[in-house]
Amino acid sequence: MMRFTDLKREAGFVFGHRQIKLTLLVVFLLSTVSLWSGYAEMQEQQATIERLLEKDQIEREAVITHQSNYGMVAYYAFHLTYAPPSPLAFAAVGERDVFPWKHRIRMLALEGQIYESDTDNPELAFLGRFDFAFVTSVLLPLFIILLLYDLKAKEREARRFELLNVTARNAHAIWSARALVTLVPLALVTLIPFVFFGLVNGASLPSILTVCAIVIGNIALWSGIVLSIGAAKRFANFSATHLASIMLGVWIVTTVVVPVTAHTLINAVVETPEGGDIVLTQREAVNSAWDKPVEATWRAFIATHPQWADYTTFNPGRDSSFNWKWYYAFQQVGDQAASELSQGYQAATLQKDTIASYVALLSPSLLSQRLLSSAANTDVKAMVGYENDVRAFHQALRKFYYYHLFKAPEFSQENFEALPQFTPNTKTSHENRTGKEE
Protein backbone atom coordinates (compact mmCIF):
# COMPACT_ATOMS: atom_id res chain seq x y z
CA MET A 1 0.00 0.00 0.00
CA MET A 2 1.27 3.39 -0.91
CA ARG A 3 1.68 5.66 2.04
CA PHE A 4 1.51 9.40 2.14
CA THR A 5 5.20 9.49 2.98
CA ASP A 6 5.90 7.66 -0.24
CA LEU A 7 3.93 10.23 -2.20
CA LYS A 8 5.61 13.12 -0.48
CA ARG A 9 9.05 11.70 -1.03
CA GLU A 10 8.50 10.87 -4.67
CA ALA A 11 6.97 14.29 -5.23
CA GLY A 12 10.10 15.90 -3.91
CA PHE A 13 12.18 13.55 -6.00
CA VAL A 14 10.32 14.05 -9.26
CA PHE A 15 10.15 17.80 -8.90
CA GLY A 16 13.82 17.95 -8.15
CA HIS A 17 14.33 17.41 -11.85
CA ARG A 18 14.33 20.61 -13.82
CA GLN A 19 13.03 18.70 -16.86
CA ILE A 20 9.71 17.91 -15.22
CA LYS A 21 9.06 21.47 -14.16
CA LEU A 22 9.91 22.70 -17.64
CA THR A 23 7.61 20.17 -19.27
CA LEU A 24 4.72 21.07 -16.99
CA LEU A 25 5.27 24.74 -17.70
CA VAL A 26 5.21 24.08 -21.45
CA VAL A 27 1.98 22.07 -21.18
CA PHE A 28 0.43 24.82 -19.11
CA LEU A 29 1.37 27.41 -21.71
CA LEU A 30 0.07 25.26 -24.57
CA SER A 31 -3.18 24.69 -22.75
CA THR A 32 -3.67 28.35 -21.93
CA VAL A 33 -2.76 29.68 -25.36
CA SER A 34 -4.99 27.17 -27.14
CA LEU A 35 -7.90 27.99 -24.85
CA TRP A 36 -7.44 31.71 -25.21
CA SER A 37 -7.25 31.42 -28.98
CA GLY A 38 -10.48 29.43 -29.13
CA TYR A 39 -12.17 31.78 -26.71
CA ALA A 40 -11.26 34.85 -28.73
CA GLU A 41 -12.51 33.24 -31.89
CA MET A 42 -15.86 32.27 -30.39
CA GLN A 43 -16.28 35.76 -28.98
CA GLU A 44 -15.71 37.05 -32.48
CA GLN A 45 -18.30 34.64 -33.87
CA GLN A 46 -20.79 35.69 -31.24
CA ALA A 47 -20.23 39.36 -32.05
CA THR A 48 -20.64 38.61 -35.74
CA ILE A 49 -23.96 36.92 -35.08
CA GLU A 50 -25.20 39.94 -33.18
CA ARG A 51 -24.15 42.32 -35.93
CA LEU A 52 -25.74 40.09 -38.55
CA LEU A 53 -29.00 39.81 -36.64
CA GLU A 54 -29.26 43.55 -36.42
CA LYS A 55 -28.64 44.08 -40.11
CA ASP A 56 -30.91 41.18 -40.97
CA GLN A 57 -33.76 42.80 -39.12
CA ILE A 58 -33.23 46.17 -40.80
CA GLU A 59 -32.99 44.62 -44.25
CA ARG A 60 -36.15 42.64 -43.88
CA GLU A 61 -38.12 45.60 -42.63
CA ALA A 62 -36.90 47.67 -45.55
CA VAL A 63 -38.12 45.01 -47.95
CA ILE A 64 -41.50 44.70 -46.26
CA THR A 65 -42.13 48.44 -46.34
CA HIS A 66 -40.87 48.74 -49.90
CA GLN A 67 -42.97 45.98 -51.50
CA SER A 68 -46.65 45.68 -52.12
CA ASN A 69 -47.41 42.02 -52.52
CA TYR A 70 -46.54 38.82 -50.69
CA GLY A 71 -44.83 37.26 -53.64
CA MET A 72 -42.34 40.08 -53.92
CA VAL A 73 -41.66 40.09 -50.19
CA ALA A 74 -41.02 36.38 -50.22
CA TYR A 75 -38.63 36.84 -53.14
CA TYR A 76 -36.60 39.63 -51.60
CA ALA A 77 -36.75 39.04 -47.87
CA PHE A 78 -33.84 37.11 -46.44
CA HIS A 79 -33.68 35.49 -43.01
CA LEU A 80 -30.55 34.88 -41.06
CA THR A 81 -30.15 31.34 -39.74
CA TYR A 82 -27.25 30.49 -37.51
CA ALA A 83 -25.83 28.04 -35.04
CA PRO A 84 -24.31 30.00 -32.18
CA PRO A 85 -21.19 28.53 -30.58
CA SER A 86 -22.05 26.51 -27.50
CA PRO A 87 -20.45 27.53 -24.20
CA LEU A 88 -17.78 24.88 -24.71
CA ALA A 89 -17.08 25.50 -28.39
CA PHE A 90 -13.99 27.49 -27.49
CA ALA A 91 -12.31 24.30 -26.38
CA ALA A 92 -13.07 22.21 -29.43
CA VAL A 93 -13.57 23.97 -32.74
CA GLY A 94 -14.57 20.61 -34.20
CA GLU A 95 -16.26 20.89 -37.56
CA ARG A 96 -17.22 24.55 -37.22
CA ASP A 97 -14.47 25.65 -39.53
CA VAL A 98 -15.48 23.23 -42.26
CA PHE A 99 -19.29 23.16 -42.11
CA PRO A 100 -21.27 26.38 -42.42
CA TRP A 101 -22.94 27.69 -39.30
CA LYS A 102 -24.76 30.63 -40.83
CA HIS A 103 -26.97 31.12 -43.85
CA ARG A 104 -29.27 33.73 -45.28
CA ILE A 105 -32.37 31.93 -46.42
CA ARG A 106 -35.31 33.08 -48.45
CA MET A 107 -38.45 31.41 -49.64
CA LEU A 108 -36.96 30.10 -52.90
CA ALA A 109 -35.97 26.51 -53.42
CA LEU A 110 -33.91 25.41 -50.46
CA GLU A 111 -31.69 22.98 -52.33
CA GLY A 112 -30.22 25.86 -54.25
CA GLN A 113 -29.38 27.78 -51.09
CA ILE A 114 -28.42 25.41 -48.37
CA TYR A 115 -25.15 24.21 -49.84
CA GLU A 116 -23.72 27.69 -50.00
CA SER A 117 -21.07 28.03 -47.41
CA ASP A 118 -19.66 31.09 -45.81
CA THR A 119 -16.89 29.08 -44.29
CA ASP A 120 -13.54 30.24 -43.10
CA ASN A 121 -10.38 30.83 -45.02
CA PRO A 122 -9.67 27.41 -46.54
CA GLU A 123 -5.94 27.75 -46.09
CA LEU A 124 -6.36 28.24 -42.35
CA ALA A 125 -8.76 25.31 -42.18
CA PHE A 126 -6.17 23.25 -44.08
CA LEU A 127 -3.46 24.15 -41.57
CA GLY A 128 -5.79 23.20 -38.78
CA ARG A 129 -6.65 24.88 -35.56
CA PHE A 130 -4.59 24.97 -32.42
CA ASP A 131 -7.42 24.37 -30.01
CA PHE A 132 -7.70 22.70 -26.63
CA ALA A 133 -9.04 19.50 -28.15
CA PHE A 134 -5.94 19.27 -30.34
CA VAL A 135 -3.61 19.84 -27.40
CA THR A 136 -5.25 17.22 -25.22
CA SER A 137 -5.91 14.59 -27.89
CA VAL A 138 -2.78 14.78 -30.00
CA LEU A 139 -0.05 16.55 -28.04
CA LEU A 140 -0.70 15.43 -24.50
CA PRO A 141 0.04 11.76 -25.27
CA LEU A 142 3.44 12.85 -26.60
CA PHE A 143 4.12 14.62 -23.34
CA ILE A 144 3.01 11.61 -21.37
CA ILE A 145 5.47 9.52 -23.36
CA LEU A 146 8.23 12.01 -22.70
CA LEU A 147 7.51 12.09 -18.99
CA LEU A 148 7.04 8.41 -18.29
CA TYR A 149 8.93 6.47 -20.94
CA ASP A 150 11.99 5.90 -18.82
CA LEU A 151 10.33 5.45 -15.46
CA LYS A 152 11.93 2.08 -14.95
CA ALA A 153 14.33 1.98 -17.86
CA LYS A 154 16.28 4.93 -16.52
CA GLU A 155 16.90 3.12 -13.26
CA ARG A 156 17.86 -0.04 -15.09
CA GLU A 157 20.33 1.79 -17.28
CA ALA A 158 21.86 3.52 -14.28
CA ARG A 159 22.03 0.17 -12.49
CA ARG A 160 19.93 1.50 -9.65
CA PHE A 161 16.98 -0.69 -10.44
CA GLU A 162 18.09 -3.63 -8.31
CA LEU A 163 19.21 -1.42 -5.47
CA LEU A 164 15.81 0.25 -5.37
CA ASN A 165 13.91 -3.00 -5.53
CA VAL A 166 15.96 -4.56 -2.75
CA THR A 167 16.04 -1.55 -0.48
CA ALA A 168 12.43 -0.63 -0.81
CA ARG A 169 9.93 -1.63 1.76
CA ASN A 170 7.39 -1.68 -1.03
CA ALA A 171 8.86 -1.57 -4.50
CA HIS A 172 5.53 -1.12 -6.27
CA ALA A 173 4.84 1.96 -4.23
CA ILE A 174 7.85 3.74 -5.71
CA TRP A 175 6.78 3.28 -9.29
CA SER A 176 3.12 4.05 -8.70
CA ALA A 177 4.02 7.06 -6.62
CA ARG A 178 6.39 8.43 -9.24
CA ALA A 179 3.86 7.94 -12.01
CA LEU A 180 1.07 9.50 -9.98
CA VAL A 181 3.16 12.44 -8.90
CA THR A 182 3.95 13.14 -12.53
CA LEU A 183 0.47 12.60 -13.96
CA VAL A 184 -1.62 14.49 -11.42
CA PRO A 185 0.22 17.79 -11.92
CA LEU A 186 0.07 17.19 -15.67
CA ALA A 187 -3.69 16.86 -15.49
CA LEU A 188 -3.90 19.93 -13.29
CA VAL A 189 -1.85 22.24 -15.52
CA THR A 190 -3.92 21.09 -18.48
CA LEU A 191 -7.34 21.37 -16.87
CA ILE A 192 -7.11 24.36 -14.58
CA PRO A 193 -6.89 26.85 -17.48
CA PHE A 194 -9.81 25.04 -19.10
CA VAL A 195 -11.99 25.30 -16.01
CA PHE A 196 -11.14 28.98 -15.77
CA PHE A 197 -12.11 29.70 -19.36
CA GLY A 198 -15.15 27.49 -19.08
CA LEU A 199 -16.48 29.40 -16.10
CA VAL A 200 -15.72 32.74 -17.73
CA ASN A 201 -17.62 31.62 -20.80
CA GLY A 202 -20.63 30.57 -18.80
CA ALA A 203 -20.43 26.84 -19.37
CA SER A 204 -22.49 24.69 -17.05
CA LEU A 205 -20.69 22.80 -14.30
CA PRO A 206 -21.73 19.34 -15.54
CA SER A 207 -20.39 20.12 -18.99
CA ILE A 208 -17.09 21.35 -17.56
CA LEU A 209 -16.82 18.20 -15.50
CA THR A 210 -17.60 16.09 -18.55
CA VAL A 211 -14.68 17.59 -20.44
CA CYS A 212 -12.41 17.14 -17.43
CA ALA A 213 -13.45 13.51 -17.28
CA ILE A 214 -12.68 13.04 -20.99
CA VAL A 215 -9.24 14.59 -20.64
CA ILE A 216 -8.44 12.61 -17.51
CA GLY A 217 -9.66 9.47 -19.25
CA ASN A 218 -7.33 10.17 -22.19
CA ILE A 219 -4.42 10.75 -19.82
CA ALA A 220 -5.21 7.54 -17.96
CA LEU A 221 -5.46 5.55 -21.18
CA TRP A 222 -2.17 6.79 -22.57
CA SER A 223 -0.44 6.39 -19.21
CA GLY A 224 -1.65 2.82 -19.20
CA ILE A 225 -0.18 2.23 -22.64
CA VAL A 226 3.12 3.85 -21.78
CA LEU A 227 3.52 2.19 -18.40
CA SER A 228 2.58 -1.25 -19.64
CA ILE A 229 5.12 -1.02 -22.46
CA GLY A 230 7.68 0.16 -19.94
CA ALA A 231 6.95 -2.69 -17.57
CA ALA A 232 6.54 -5.45 -20.11
CA LYS A 233 8.84 -8.40 -19.51
CA ARG A 234 9.43 -8.73 -23.22
CA PHE A 235 10.96 -5.27 -23.38
CA ALA A 236 12.86 -5.55 -20.09
CA ASN A 237 16.25 -5.29 -21.72
CA PHE A 238 15.45 -2.53 -24.15
CA SER A 239 17.10 0.81 -23.70
CA ALA A 240 14.93 3.69 -22.64
CA THR A 241 15.02 5.31 -26.05
CA HIS A 242 14.10 2.03 -27.69
CA LEU A 243 11.04 1.89 -25.47
CA ALA A 244 10.21 5.48 -26.36
CA SER A 245 10.43 4.58 -30.04
CA ILE A 246 7.90 1.80 -29.50
CA MET A 247 5.56 4.17 -27.70
CA LEU A 248 5.94 6.73 -30.46
CA GLY A 249 5.17 3.97 -32.90
CA VAL A 250 1.93 3.27 -31.06
CA TRP A 251 1.14 6.97 -31.18
CA ILE A 252 1.80 7.16 -34.92
CA VAL A 253 -0.24 4.08 -35.68
CA THR A 254 -3.25 5.16 -33.62
CA THR A 255 -3.14 8.86 -34.35
CA VAL A 256 -2.11 8.84 -37.98
CA VAL A 257 -2.40 5.48 -39.64
CA VAL A 258 -5.74 4.28 -38.24
CA PRO A 259 -7.75 7.43 -39.07
CA VAL A 260 -6.42 7.87 -42.59
CA THR A 261 -6.78 4.20 -43.43
CA ALA A 262 -10.31 4.23 -42.09
CA HIS A 263 -11.03 7.34 -44.12
CA THR A 264 -9.90 5.71 -47.32
CA LEU A 265 -11.86 2.54 -46.62
CA ILE A 266 -15.03 4.33 -45.55
CA ASN A 267 -15.02 6.49 -48.65
CA ALA A 268 -14.64 3.45 -50.82
CA VAL A 269 -17.43 1.61 -49.06
CA VAL A 270 -20.15 4.18 -48.41
CA GLU A 271 -22.12 5.32 -51.44
CA THR A 272 -22.36 9.06 -51.58
CA PRO A 273 -24.38 11.04 -54.10
CA GLU A 274 -22.30 13.57 -55.92
CA GLY A 275 -23.06 17.05 -54.61
CA GLY A 276 -22.94 18.45 -58.11
CA ASP A 277 -25.76 16.11 -59.10
CA ILE A 278 -28.05 17.43 -56.39
CA VAL A 279 -27.81 21.03 -57.55
CA LEU A 280 -27.96 20.20 -61.23
CA THR A 281 -31.08 18.10 -60.72
CA GLN A 282 -32.75 20.79 -58.67
CA ARG A 283 -31.95 23.48 -61.15
CA GLU A 284 -33.27 21.44 -64.06
CA ALA A 285 -36.52 20.77 -62.26
CA VAL A 286 -36.99 24.44 -61.36
CA ASN A 287 -36.16 25.79 -64.77
CA SER A 288 -38.04 23.26 -66.81
CA ALA A 289 -41.17 24.29 -64.93
CA TRP A 290 -41.22 27.50 -66.97
CA ASP A 291 -41.67 25.48 -70.13
CA LYS A 292 -44.06 22.87 -68.83
CA PRO A 293 -47.82 23.48 -68.63
CA VAL A 294 -48.87 24.94 -65.33
CA GLU A 295 -50.96 21.88 -64.52
CA ALA A 296 -47.89 19.65 -64.41
CA THR A 297 -46.41 21.77 -61.66
CA TRP A 298 -49.65 21.86 -59.72
CA ARG A 299 -50.02 18.10 -59.93
CA ALA A 300 -46.65 17.57 -58.33
CA PHE A 301 -47.26 20.26 -55.75
CA ILE A 302 -50.76 19.18 -54.70
CA ALA A 303 -49.52 15.62 -54.25
CA THR A 304 -47.58 16.79 -51.20
CA HIS A 305 -49.75 19.78 -50.25
CA PRO A 306 -53.33 18.60 -50.70
CA GLN A 307 -54.65 21.39 -48.50
CA TRP A 308 -54.06 23.97 -51.26
CA ALA A 309 -55.77 21.99 -54.00
CA ASP A 310 -58.64 24.45 -54.33
CA TYR A 311 -56.56 27.58 -54.52
CA THR A 312 -54.51 27.07 -57.62
CA THR A 313 -56.36 29.26 -60.10
CA PHE A 314 -54.63 32.39 -61.23
CA ASN A 315 -56.61 35.55 -61.76
CA PRO A 316 -54.37 38.32 -63.03
CA GLY A 317 -56.89 40.86 -61.99
CA ARG A 318 -57.17 39.73 -58.42
CA ASP A 319 -53.73 38.24 -57.88
CA SER A 320 -50.60 40.25 -58.60
CA SER A 321 -49.41 40.66 -62.20
CA PHE A 322 -47.15 37.63 -61.96
CA ASN A 323 -48.30 34.17 -60.92
CA TRP A 324 -46.43 33.96 -57.65
CA LYS A 325 -48.38 30.95 -56.43
CA TRP A 326 -47.21 28.94 -59.36
CA TYR A 327 -43.68 30.28 -59.05
CA TYR A 328 -43.23 29.12 -55.49
CA ALA A 329 -45.01 25.90 -56.23
CA PHE A 330 -42.42 24.95 -58.83
CA GLN A 331 -39.61 26.01 -56.53
CA GLN A 332 -40.93 23.47 -54.07
CA VAL A 333 -41.34 20.87 -56.81
CA GLY A 334 -37.71 21.42 -57.73
CA ASP A 335 -36.74 20.69 -54.14
CA GLN A 336 -38.89 17.59 -54.18
CA ALA A 337 -37.17 16.36 -57.33
CA ALA A 338 -33.80 16.64 -55.68
CA SER A 339 -34.90 15.46 -52.26
CA GLU A 340 -33.88 11.85 -52.71
CA LEU A 341 -30.34 12.80 -53.66
CA SER A 342 -30.22 15.41 -50.96
CA GLN A 343 -31.39 13.04 -48.25
CA GLY A 344 -28.94 10.47 -49.54
CA TYR A 345 -26.14 12.99 -49.28
CA GLN A 346 -26.99 13.83 -45.69
CA ALA A 347 -27.49 10.20 -44.81
CA ALA A 348 -24.09 9.35 -46.25
CA THR A 349 -22.47 12.11 -44.21
CA LEU A 350 -24.06 10.77 -41.04
CA GLN A 351 -23.32 7.18 -41.87
CA LYS A 352 -19.65 7.92 -42.40
CA ASP A 353 -19.62 9.71 -39.08
CA THR A 354 -21.18 6.73 -37.35
CA ILE A 355 -18.60 4.37 -38.80
CA ALA A 356 -15.91 6.81 -37.75
CA SER A 357 -17.16 6.57 -34.18
CA TYR A 358 -16.44 2.85 -34.25
CA VAL A 359 -13.02 3.46 -35.73
CA ALA A 360 -12.36 5.80 -32.83
CA LEU A 361 -12.35 2.81 -30.53
CA LEU A 362 -9.02 1.89 -32.10
CA SER A 363 -7.54 5.34 -31.73
CA PRO A 364 -7.50 7.09 -28.36
CA SER A 365 -6.64 10.44 -29.93
CA LEU A 366 -9.54 10.23 -32.35
CA LEU A 367 -11.87 9.09 -29.59
CA SER A 368 -10.87 11.92 -27.32
CA GLN A 369 -11.27 14.45 -30.11
CA ARG A 370 -14.70 13.15 -31.02
CA LEU A 371 -15.88 13.11 -27.43
CA LEU A 372 -14.72 16.68 -26.93
CA SER A 373 -16.40 17.88 -30.14
CA SER A 374 -19.53 16.10 -29.07
CA ALA A 375 -19.47 17.77 -25.66
CA ALA A 376 -18.94 21.13 -27.35
CA ASN A 377 -21.70 20.51 -29.93
CA THR A 378 -19.27 21.07 -32.75
CA ASP A 379 -19.21 17.57 -34.19
CA VAL A 380 -20.67 16.40 -37.49
CA LYS A 381 -23.98 15.53 -35.83
CA ALA A 382 -24.33 19.03 -34.44
CA MET A 383 -23.60 20.66 -37.79
CA VAL A 384 -26.06 18.38 -39.58
CA GLY A 385 -28.52 19.22 -36.81
CA TYR A 386 -28.10 22.87 -37.71
CA GLU A 387 -28.76 22.06 -41.35
CA ASN A 388 -31.96 20.33 -40.35
CA ASP A 389 -32.93 23.33 -38.25
CA VAL A 390 -32.57 25.46 -41.36
CA ARG A 391 -34.74 23.04 -43.28
CA ALA A 392 -37.37 23.14 -40.56
CA PHE A 393 -37.29 26.91 -40.60
CA HIS A 394 -37.72 26.98 -44.36
CA GLN A 395 -40.71 24.74 -43.93
CA ALA A 396 -42.23 27.15 -41.39
CA LEU A 397 -41.54 30.01 -43.77
CA ARG A 398 -43.30 28.24 -46.57
CA LYS A 399 -46.28 27.46 -44.41
CA PHE A 400 -46.60 31.15 -43.58
CA TYR A 401 -46.30 32.32 -47.16
CA TYR A 402 -48.52 29.62 -48.64
CA TYR A 403 -51.32 30.86 -46.43
CA HIS A 404 -50.85 34.43 -47.60
CA LEU A 405 -50.30 33.53 -51.24
CA PHE A 406 -53.10 31.03 -51.62
CA LYS A 407 -55.74 32.47 -49.37
CA ALA A 408 -54.69 35.93 -50.65
CA PRO A 409 -55.72 38.16 -47.82
CA GLU A 410 -55.27 41.87 -48.23
CA PHE A 411 -51.63 42.90 -48.20
CA SER A 412 -50.80 44.63 -44.95
CA GLN A 413 -47.59 45.05 -43.07
CA GLU A 414 -49.13 43.99 -39.78
CA ASN A 415 -49.55 40.52 -41.18
CA PHE A 416 -45.81 40.21 -41.25
CA GLU A 417 -45.60 40.28 -37.51
CA ALA A 418 -46.50 36.61 -37.65
CA LEU A 419 -43.49 35.93 -39.89
CA PRO A 420 -41.54 33.01 -38.41
CA GLN A 421 -38.29 33.89 -36.72
CA PHE A 422 -35.37 31.55 -36.71
CA THR A 423 -34.56 30.35 -33.23
CA PRO A 424 -31.24 28.68 -32.82
CA ASN A 425 -31.28 25.34 -31.16
CA THR A 426 -29.36 25.20 -27.95
CA LYS A 427 -29.87 21.50 -27.85
CA THR A 428 -29.19 20.27 -31.33
CA SER A 429 -31.06 17.45 -32.91
CA HIS A 430 -29.56 15.22 -35.50
CA GLU A 431 -32.33 12.81 -36.28
CA ASN A 432 -32.71 12.33 -39.98
CA ARG A 433 -35.30 14.65 -41.28
CA THR A 434 -38.53 13.09 -42.39
CA GLY A 435 -39.75 13.69 -45.87
CA LYS A 436 -43.25 14.28 -44.74
CA GLU A 437 -44.50 17.78 -45.24
CA GLU A 438 -47.44 19.05 -43.31
Partner 1 sequence: MIINVAKTICADQWRYWLRTKVAATVLMLGAILTLAALVVNAFHIEEAAHAREHLQTEAEARFKAQPDKHPHRMVHYGHYVFRAPTPLSVIEPGVDTYTGKAIFLEGHRQNSAMFAQQRQSAGLTRFSSLTPSFLALVLAPLFIILIGYGSVSREREAGTLTLLLSQGTSRWQLILGKLLALISASSLFLLPLLLACLYVAFSSESPLVVLLFCLSYAVYFLLWATVVTACSALFEKSSVSFIVFIVIWMAVCVLLPRLGSSVATNAAPSIGKLEADFKVEEKLRSLGDGHDVNDPAFKKLKEDLLAKYNVDSVDDLPVNFRGVVAQYSEGRQAKVLNEFAEKRMGEELEQAYIARQFGWLSPTVAVRAISTILAGTSLETHHRFLKEAEALRLEFVQGLNKVHVEKLDYTLDMNRNASEEAADKAVVGADNWALLSEFSFKPEAENTRISNALIYFLQQFFWVCISALLLKAAVRRLNP
Partner 2 sequence: MTANSVISANALSVHIDQRTILDNLNFEVGKGEVFALLGGNGAGKSTTLKTFLGLMKPSTGSASVMGLSVAEHTNEVQKSVAYLPESVTLYGHLSGLENIRYFLSVAGIEKSDDEVFAALRKVALQKASWNNALSNYSKGMRQKTAIALALLRNAPVLFLDEPTSGLDPAAIDEFNALVSELAANGATIFMVTHDVYGACQVAHRIVLLSNGKVTGSFERVGDTPIDTEAVHAAFAGRKA
Q: For residue 353, how many other CB atoms are within 10 A of its CB?
A: 18
Q: State the nearest-atom distance from the C-beta of 29 to partner 2, in Å.
A: 25
**Residue 37 contacts partner 1 per CB under 8 A:** yes
Nearer to partner 1, 19 or 170 (CB): 19
Pick out residues in 308-347 that bind partner 1 (CB under 8 A). 316, 321-323
**Residue 264 contacts partner 1 per CB under 8 A:** yes
The radius of gyration computed from the CA coordinates of the chain, to the nearest angstrom, equals: 29
**Taking a C-beta distance cutoff of 8 angstroms, is the pair 409, 311 a contact?**
no
Q: State the nearest-atom distance from the C-beta of 169 to partner 1, in Å.
A: 29
Q: State the nearest-atom distance from the C-beta of 390 to partner 1, in Å.
A: 13
CA distances from 265 to 88, 272, 322, 362 (A): 32, 13, 52, 15
Q: State the nearest-atom distance from the C-beta of 135 to partner 2, in Å.
A: 30
Q: Please choose which of partner 2, partner 1, none residue 300 contacts, taking the beta carbon within 5 to 8 angstroms, the exact cut-off set by kind.
A: none
**Taking a C-beta distance cutoff of 8 angstroms, is the pair 407, 312 a contact?**
no
Which helix (DSSP H) or strand (DSSP E) does residue 284 occupy? helix 275-288
Q: Please choose which of partner 2, partner 1, none residue 96 contacts, taking the beta carbon within 5 to 8 angstroms, the exact cut-off set by kind.
A: none
**Residue 280 contacts partner 1 per CB under 8 A:** yes
Compose the 88-117 pattern: x for residues touching partner 1 by CB under 8 A, - for all others.
Answer: ------xx--xx--xxx-------x--xxx
**Residue 118 contacts partner 1 per CB under 8 A:** yes
Q: Distance between CA 38 and CA 131 in Å, rounded?
A: 6
**Taking a C-beta distance cutoff of 8 angstroms, is the pair 114, 390 a contact?**
yes
Compose the 58-77 pattern: x for residues touching partner 1 by CB under 8 A, - for all others.
Answer: -x--x---------------
Q: Identify residue 427 by its one-letter amino acid code.
A: K
**Residue 317 contacts partner 2 per CB under 8 A:** no
Beta strands in 249-405 (DSSP E): none
Nearer to partner 2, 13 or 411 (CB): 13
Pick out residues in 8-47 that bind partner 2 (CB under 8 A). 9, 13, 16-17
Non-local (6+) Cβ contacts of 109 within 8 A are 282, 286, 331, 332, 334, 335
Nearer to partner 2, 154 or 299 (CB): 154
Phi–psi pair at 418, nearest 5 degrees: -85, 0
Pick out residues in 140-179 that bind partner 2 (CB under 8 A). 158-160, 162-170, 174
Name the packing angle between helices 140-148 and 18-66 (round to 10°): 170
Counting every residue written for the chain, the total comes to 438
CA geometry: angle at 311 spanning 111 and 72, to 5°? 50
Q: State the nearest-atom distance from the C-beta of 1 to partner 2, in Å.
A: 12
Pick out residues in 7-36 that bind partner 1 (CB under 8 A). 19, 30, 33-34
Residues binding partner 2 (CB under 8 A): 5-6, 9, 13, 16-17, 158-160, 162-170, 174
